[in-house]
Each structure stands twice: as C-alpha cells, then as structure tokens.
Homo-oligomer: A and B are copies of this chain.
C-alpha cells in the first residue's frame, strides 16, 4: 500500500502575496477592448462607470506582471487557502494509468468553488471606493453565491440576476444567496429595459448569461453608487484566480513534480486561466513545454468552433467590444447542466493565447462529462460540479493516452467546484435522461454572420 503523501497544503505565510498578470509577459498582447460607438480602444476611465476603479485599471494593465493582493483580501483568503493539491491515487487506480494525476481542490472553499477568489477582491475594491451596492449575473449560481458572501463580509448590498432556467432548476443556489442576504431576481426580468425587451419579444425566454449580464450592467449604470461585478471572462477576474495556479506551483514542488499537462474547464476562462497562467509563465519565460487544455462543452464550443473577432460580452450590447473567440453574443446555448459554461465567448487573454497556439481546447459532450464525474466521485469520494466534470473528462482522456503509450505524464487539473447543489443533474444522468447536443456548422455560421459587421 502506498504511503506517499496525498495532500499538499501550504503554510499560511506561503499563500501568495501577489497575483500573476500574464498580460505583461505575453509575446502578443491581447488586442484592446473597444468602445462600441467610436471603435476606439478603451481607457480605464471608460470602465469606471461600470466597475470599481481598481478593477478597471487591472483590466487594462498589460505591463505589471505582479499585482499585490490587498492585505484585507489575503486575510480573508487565509480562511480557506491554500486549498489542497491532491494526488488522485484513486482515479489513477481506477483508470490503470501510469500517469500521475493531481487536482487542485477549490471545492473546499466556503462557497464550494473558486469563484470566491475574485468575489472578495472585487467587492473589497468597491468598498474601498465608497460603493454601497454591487450587482452581478449568475448562471448555475456559483458566482452569485460567492459575490453574495463577499458583499456580506464587506457590508455591501448585493443584487444578483440569475439565469431563469437555473433559478428554477437549481433553487438551492438561490437559497444560498438569500441566506447571505442577497436579493436574487430571475433573468430576464421586468426590472430592466434589457429584460423587458427580451420578454416582450419572447415571453417564455429562459435566459442566458449574456442576458443576465445586460440586466446587471443596466442596473449598475442606472443606480447611484452601484457597481457591476463579473465572475469570469474579464482579465482582472482571471488575474485574481491566478492564486490557484501560484499555490499549485508551490504545491507541485512539494510533491517533487512539475505538470506536463494542465487542464481546466472553460466557461469564460477564469478558472482555466487561474490554474494555467502561472505555469504558462514558465513556458513563455523558461522554455518549459507544458500543454494547457481548456475543456469546453460541445454544446457551447467557442474555442473549438467559434470565430476570433470583436464581439459584445452581453446579449443587449451594453459592454465594450472584446477581441474573443465567440459564437456570437446572440448565441443561445442548449440547456446543459453545466450552467457555468453556457457563455458565448472567451476572455481576450485566453483568446489571444489560443490564437497563438500557447494552449489547446477540447470539447466534451454532456454524457461524457457526467461519465467522468461519476468515475471521479467513486474513485475520490468528491461529487464534482458539472462544470468541473469537463476538466475531469479531459484529464481522463489524457491519462488513458498515457496508459496506451506507457508514459508517466504528470497531469494537473482544477477541480473548480463541488456538485452538491447539482444532484438533480446527477439524478437525470443516472436515470438516463440526459442527452448530448450536436451543433451544426451552418447554425454556428448563421449566428456569426449576424454580428460580422462590428468592425
């Protein structure tokens, strides 16, 4: 029986004091965000009406590789960080692979996912700047729960627009947000112009992240002393999430290994960037050859089948134009159970990195993701979030290749969250009621054609 160490946890004084801003080291920087009216590059000041000033500055910072984590945020990180790095001996055994599989377990944060890592600094900056209300969107509810908790910590009011289909399918996440004192509204709602427009066109609209973002941004723009916060896609969100990879780097060192492959599931890019960027730094600067794999759902394949172009981040077109791999901001993804991955575009950093072949992407079908999640649950005892199941599926695919080739590769993936609030989805899977979704090329193209004249 193996008696090697299984879990690696950092002492509190080893928790990172800086986030890593990969924009400073990228050979090709991301293209600028544009003002949709003037088509001119945005300045941080242009973002001030929407975001906190500090988040706005971080968003456009392409020069400073290291950005200090505020002491107050670090003190709050210490309640749950470092999260464990775990050697998945159980999964290795179940697969019969010679690969060494590690996962970074973000599911043991207070909120149950990585989202809290960015919610805390985003709300902290708002508080520092005298903001009294924050608003946001949420899909499955992981981000909304994190934001609600962070708002409570800093004594700020939170209003969350939750995608209607998730609001109804996953009522428990709504309850969590309400337990933290947040106001939760299903989106589309009648409380915003963006929501009303959609409901008028389509009274049975089940919502999307793009629509919920429109509603939350509108609320921020029309409410005094209220700022908008976002759970993924943006560069400053990925920046905050690099605490995951920076810890993992030290923890892999404790394990005496370095990853050959780093994997994250992919919605907008923040958990993927969070675990990948600190290791990618060594590919850029030190000649390491680690592969980075973003695992996205086959039903929402912006990285594998989308187009790189400028597009809006939301459905109504309130946001700046982002240079992104996109399926079109008007894309309506299928109602897969990985609600957090149902987003039409990829963040501008990841989009540039994919364009530059610094990383790869794979698409995972819904049934394959749950197959992987159940295998992992039985092997490791943790029920993974449906989103995280995509990363697990990609990790299993790589581990199986190692089995064929006999290679002892080191695979690291991010377990971005647990699936305890998503058991209804597992029920559906176990009952054989879930399906895969096949998108036709012509449907993707038709959708993209509608937005091709942005530039």
Contacts and interface: CB of A to CB of B under 8 A. Distances in A.
Contact of A383 (B179, B378, B427): B179
A382 B110 contact: yes
A286 interface: no
A253 interface: no
Contacts of A380: 79, 110
A125 to B, nearest CB: 16
A: contact size bracket: 35 or more
Given A7-B78, A377-B180, A381-B153, A1 B421 contact: no
Interface centre among A9, A72, A108, A175 (most CB of B within 10 A): A175
Interface centre among A7, A171, A179 (most CB of B within 10 A): A179
Contacts of A285: none
Contact of A378 (B9, B180, B374, B427): B180
A12 interface: yes
Contacts of A180: 377-378
Interface string A413-449: 0000010110110110010000000000000000000
B178 A430 contact: yes
B176 A110 contact: no
Interface in A369-384: 374, 377-378, 380-383
Interface centre among A172, A180, A374, A421 (most CB of B within 10 A): A172
B430 A179 contact: yes
A427 B175 contact: yes
A80 B86 CA distance: 9
A377 B177 CA distance: 11
A172 B71 contact: no
A78 B420 contact: no
B12 A420 contact: no
Contacts of A7: 12, 78-80
Contact of A79 (B6, B112, B175, B179): B6
A111 interface: yes
A200 interface: no
A450 interface: no
A112 B12 CA distance: 23
Interface centre among A90, A383, A427 (most CB of B within 10 A): A383
A110 B381 contact: yes
Contacts of A374: 179
Given A79-B380, A110-B382, A418-B420, 5 more contacts: A6-B75, A7-B78, A7-B80, A175-B430, A176-B423
Q: Which 7 residue pairs spanning A and B have beta carbons closest together?
A: A110-B381, A172-B423, A175-B423, A108-B108, A420-B420, A149-B381, A175-B427
